[in-house]
Structures are given as C-alpha cells and as structure tokens.
Structure 1
C-alpha cells in the first residue's frame, strides 16, 4: 500500500528564494524540452493528403527525441547555463520524467482509444512543485527526522508534523509544493502489507448510492446527503476578489496581492469540498460492507449546461476518495452500468419514462411512488449484488433487507465517531410504499 501525507513546512526567506529559483529554472527546462519534442514531431510527420514542405522547414531530419536523449543532454545544459548546477540532479531528471509521462498520455492512446491532451508550455508561476525521488536513503536528497526536513542544497526546514508517520512504512519520495498559503512537503510512503478485501460471502450490509445535483447522494436505504454547493455559495466573494484583481496593473505588487487572495479563496473551497467528501466516504464505509455506484462518464456530463454544478459537486473526486477509503478498510466498491437506473421500477422492472424535472418515481403497474433518486439507488444496489453474485429475492428486495429482517447487525448513523457525526442527511419517506 502506498500512502501520501502532506505536511506544512516553514522555510526561511533565503530558502524560499532558492526554491522559487529552482521552480523557474525547471519551468524553463520543461519548455525547452517540450519544444524539442514538438519540433521533432513536426519535422518528421507528413499529412496523408498533402506535403508538409509548405509549413515545415527543409533540412536534415533530426534524430528521435526521447527521455534518454534529453537526460544525456543535462550535462551540456549545465555547461552552457551554470545556474542549473545549483539544482539537485535527480530533481532535474524527475522533471523530464514528468514530461515523458505527459507526452506518452498524448501520443499513446489508452483503452477505448482515449488519450490525454497535448502538453503545454508553462507560463511563469505555473510550475509549482519539484520532487526528490529518494528519502532517508544513504544517497537521498531528502531526509526527514525528528520534525526536520533536510533537503540537498537547500538546508534544514522545520516540518509541522500534525500526524505521525505510520509504523512499518518506508519513505519513498518527497514532493515540495508551493501553494497560496505557503509551502508544503508531500511524503509518499510504502508498505508491502495490503488489507485483505472482505470476501463476498461475508458481506453483511450493502448499499447503492445515486449521486445527483439536487441531493449530493441518495442511498438505497432512503437516506439523502444534502449537497453543500461550496462554489455557488462563494461566488459573490470570488467575483469581488477577481474584480479587485482586474483593476490592478498586471504584474505590479498590488496585482500579485490581489491574485493571491483569489488563489486563497479557491484553495479554501477545494479543502472544504475535500473534507466533505472524506466525511461522507467514512460514513458510508462505517455503515456498509459493499458500496455500489454508477460508472458515470463525468467528463461527458461536464460538457452540458449543468457543468458548473457538476464541477461543484465533484463526483469524480468523491468516488476516488470513496475507493481509497474502502481499500484501506478492506471493503468492497462495485461499479454498475448507469443506463436505465432512474427509469426502471425497482419492484416490477417496468420502464417509467420521466424527464429530469420529475423528481418522483410513480409506476402505474405496481403503484409504487417513491423519490426518483431513491428508486435509482435501489436499482444500483440490485445490479451490484447480481454482479458480485449475491442473491436477490422475488420481490426485488436486496440481501440487505434479508439481513435486516433476520436481525443482522448494521450500524446506524449517529453511533459513530465524532468525525462521522459531521455528515448531515435527511431521511426520505414515501406515503405509498414502505421499504
């Protein structure tokens, strides 16, 4: 298992100047190496239906440019530009490795033919992190001991150790990050022991969750977590801060201060949203052994007119956090096909067509009338149970209902830790049907 803990560091003004200089030099090197790759690509490719002599220079076709040729050129770079000798050598190599990964994501498609976007040239200030690939080893560039982080050619920096490093984990990598409110070090650590996933036969409680925009999520038990809408609630503050920044002379000291205030607001929103996601994920993992959710195409949904609300809810980030929390606890998370979950009736399976504005599911065949998202959560749960091989009874009820009816133990929300108590939810009720 690999964990990453992020700690705040308190460098001196001299150390801050050195690290900012490193970031600027690494940014220039990134742009130069990316330019080499793009120039080689343009010189060696030709469209199928036309000749490229019109738009490309004529000359000798250059040799292939890759990570190994650019790494070998680091020695020449340090001779031409002596300031690069001040940067730790492995840090420069990792900078080229990052470019290689970004280039491969663009040039080499992954499954289903998808690929990432083209790597971009970075403007001043856009490169905000550098890496020491080894920590606490004999020839490492970073050493963390007793709350002090010693970085090669930078010096010792105090670290705010707000939580201890777990026993048995080996420190692997240190990433120095510049954020709006200061500098941080992210320590990656590894332990060969991995929690065993819970066997399917041992599942005592399961739930299906349906994420949405009216409610953040609705469970198959009829519990709904309200959506906080952090971004929408802070839009007025952001608009005023951005208005102040736009009235400053770009590049001036006052403009830098106003820009930092906007960055601080965005950072605060990001942290609030992340904390909320962790609270909901821990609540779900404390109450259920199997958690089912839809395998949504979130990027496609974010291109619609609901893009702002979808980005504000951040379903993708939440599902990644849920998966990580479940793996640490050895629980099961199952993806299901989202097609038809809100249309099918959970009891009789009939298709009930409805528009997005209709929030109540009413089936004329079996006369079931419940909340639309509640019906989706039950369908998601049933599909997950069939996918993992757990039984369903003839009434459309899941194994969770059987366990509850037999007196099986399922912790209820409200008996957990203080962290879990922070999650608020509402209980959906249906006057026409009782699950």
Structure 2
C-alpha cells in the first residue's frame, strides 16, 4: 500500500469564500497564539509546553471565543499538531548541527491552508457524483473532479493559491508494479541547454520556465513599484505577479511529472547524482539550479518509482564528469566539449560519459546493498542441519 494525492479546483460562492477566509484567519491566529505560549513559557519559566497540553486547551478556547465554534474541532487540532511538527523539525536540525530555523509567526499571506485529518469519515467528504465536496462548517462546495479519486481518502487539505481555492485529498492506494523491462539507466542532471542526459545518450532539453517568464514578471514588478502601496492598482498588479509565478511553478511541475513518468516506464532502475542542491543554490549557478527544480524532480521520480516497483538510487557525484567511463582515467574537460580520454582514446559527449559513470556507480552500490541484505537475512535465519 502507498499514498497518492489528488488535487482539485474548488469553486466556492461568495458566502463560502468569506467562511474559508475566516477559517484561515482563525487557524493562523491560533497557530501564532500557540507559538507565543511555547516561547513565553520557556523564556520565563524554562518549561516546555507539549502538544497534548495545547490540544486539551482547545475546549477552553472554544468556550471563551465563540468564533472558534465555527471551525471543525479536528481542523483546530491539526493546527496545534502543525506547530508541534515545526518544533520537532527545529530540534532535529539542532541535534544534526545544521541551520535550525526557529518556528516563525505566520503573516496573513504565509498561512494558506487547513486540513481535515480524518477526511472520508468526518469533516470532509468527496461527492464526485454531484460535482461537489462537503466541508464541515462550510457546506457543499463545487469541485472540478478532472480525474477520478482512487483508494481510500485519508486526509483533505483546503488551500488558497492567490485568488483560487483547491482541495488536496491524500488517499491510500495499492501499489501498481510495472512489468520489468530489463533496462537500467544513469542520468546526469543539468541546467542549460539540457535538463538531463541519460547513459543511453538521450538528451532532454531544459525548458527554463522562469527564464521565459522573466521579462513579463519584470515588467509587472516595475509597474507595481510605481503605484501607491495598498491601492487598488497596486493590489491588482501584485495579483498578476503572483499568477505568473504560479504558472511557472505549474509548468515546471508538469514537466517534472511527464519526464519522470517516461523514465519510470522505460527503466527498472534509475541512478542519479546525490547532489547537495541546497549548497548549489548558494553559488553563481543558483538561478539555473532553482529554475530546473532538481529536488522536486528527484522527489517526484522517487515516488513514481516506488509506486511502480522501480528503484531510484543516488550515487556519489564526485569526478563523474572527469573520470573516463572506459578505463577510469581522470582528466578535466570543459563544459560543452567532448570527452576524449588521454589514456585509452575514448571519444564521447562529456555529459553522456558522466551519465555512464553514474550508471556504473549505481550498479556497484545496488550490488553492495543486495549483498548486505542477503547476509543480514542469512544471519537472522536459523541454521539448517
């Protein structure tokens, strides 16, 4: 069994939009109040307030503040749990010695979703036959089911993106393994002109969605800078800028899904470089790296592979572009030039050579993992006399 998400567009009426906005406001206020309670308790008394203590206090909050009676109880519990997850992540990062990032207070435009954690049973019910979805305390909201739901609905998250509303169902579905193809591939990720290159010599051109939309976004930003902040025209231009950024994100996500689906359908195992993407995002190549969206692509590829019974594995990226895939000789080659080995004379495209090296390292790593798992199984199994 696995999990799969289904995102649908909502079309609430004016009264429902007002209720949705008010629900988001109350959830955000509760989140900030819970964060303030934790901060104050630790600073003044050195006491840590737990998730269960704040969860029990929700009954008192509803009694003192009647407006919270208009929000489903499990939605409020999820707000407290969301804060608790933020603190758990903060402490985990502190222990790991990386940049921690203390949980922040949420502004009006930085809290755009709320969740029904037991959708399908209570709180939120999909109604595909009538083209609606039932949301507790809000009512039946029109919904565009552009594809059928699968499996058992577990959670439902209502999201506001700009001036549009969406609902995301998380469903438990059975895995659908694909038939074996007997083919494996290594992929070398790039930014320009190619998004990825496979060990089979296939080149996937980089779409560079942000680069293409940059001119229009820049024009809108310059116009907005000349308008009075908070005016009607300023708000309209900000809405248009946000819409352009959403289009870029949607196009990039669509490209990632289609590319990942093609790779998963063709290959039983896919090996890629285990890159430090956060580090690369702080270099001079940051713009191209972020426009390519490598982290999002690898995540989508891994999820599709897991559902299809395929293998996706990251390998050490060191010297993949400098080592000869034939004899192992190491030499530096400029970007855009062919790799001509000074030792064995092999002539190959630089990026294809890197993809072949990634494939070879992936095969070695997969073989080591299989040997270790077999040895571990032998240790656990009883000796046969």
Matching of residues 3-402 of structure 1 within 5 Å: 3-43=4-44, 61=45, 63-109=47-93, 112-114=96-98, 116-137=100-121, 140-145=122-127, 146=129, 147-166=131-150, 169-191=151-173, 193-195=174-176, 204-214=182-192, 215-354=194-333, 357=335, 359-389=337-367
Task: String of CA shifts for 1:151-184, please: whole Å, max 9, x gaps.
Answer: 1111111110100112xx1111111111125111
Flag structure 1 segments of 5+ consecutive residues without an equivalent. Answer: 44-60, 391-435
Please give the alpha-carbon distance, in whole angstroms, between the structure 1 residues aligned to 2:68 and 2:152: 30
Structure possessing the higher radius of gyration over alpha carbons: 1
TM-score (norm 1): 0.80
Contact 2:27 / 2:79 at 8 angstroms: preserved in 1? Answer: yes
Inter-CA distance 84–73: structure 2 relative to 1 (3 Å threshold): same
Please give the alpha-carbon distance, in whole angstroms, between the structure 2 residues aligned to 1:96 and 1:337: 39
Shift of 1:246: 2.1
After superposition, the CA RMSD in angstroms is 1.9
Please give the alpha-carbon distance, in whole angstroms, between the structure 1 residues aligned to 2:178 and 2:262: 18
- Structure holding more helix per residue: 2
Shift of 1:113: 4.2
Please give the alpha-carbon distance, in whole angstroms, between the structure 2 residues aligned to 1:332 and 1:222: 20
Shift of 1:363: 1.3
Contact 1:172 / 1:187 at 8 angstroms: preserved in 2? Answer: yes
Please give the alpha-carbon distance, in whole angstroms, between the structure 2 residues aligned to 1:385 and 1:31: 49
Please give the alpha-carbon distance, in whole angstroms, between the structure 1 residues aligned to 2:181 and 2:98: 35
Secondary structure, in 3 states, of the residue corresponding to 1:131? strand
Please give the alpha-carbon distance, in whole angstroms, between the structure 2 residues aligned to 1:269 and 1:340: 33
Work out the number of aligned pairs and report it: 364
Inter-CA distance 219–110: structure 2 relative to 1 (3 Å threshold): farther
Please give the alpha-carbon distance, in whole angstroms, between the structure 2 residues aligned to 1:34 and 1:90: 19
Flag structure 2 segments of 5+ consecutive residues without an equivalent. Answer: 369-385
Contact 1:195 / 1:327 at 8 angstroms: preserved in 2? Answer: no
Please give the alpha-carbon distance, in whole angstroms, between the structure 2 residues aligned to 1:101 and 1:20: 24
Inter-CA distance 63–347: structure 2 relative to 1 (3 Å threshold): closer
Please give the alpha-carbon distance, in whole angstroms, between the structure 2 residues aligned to 1:110 and 1:329: 36
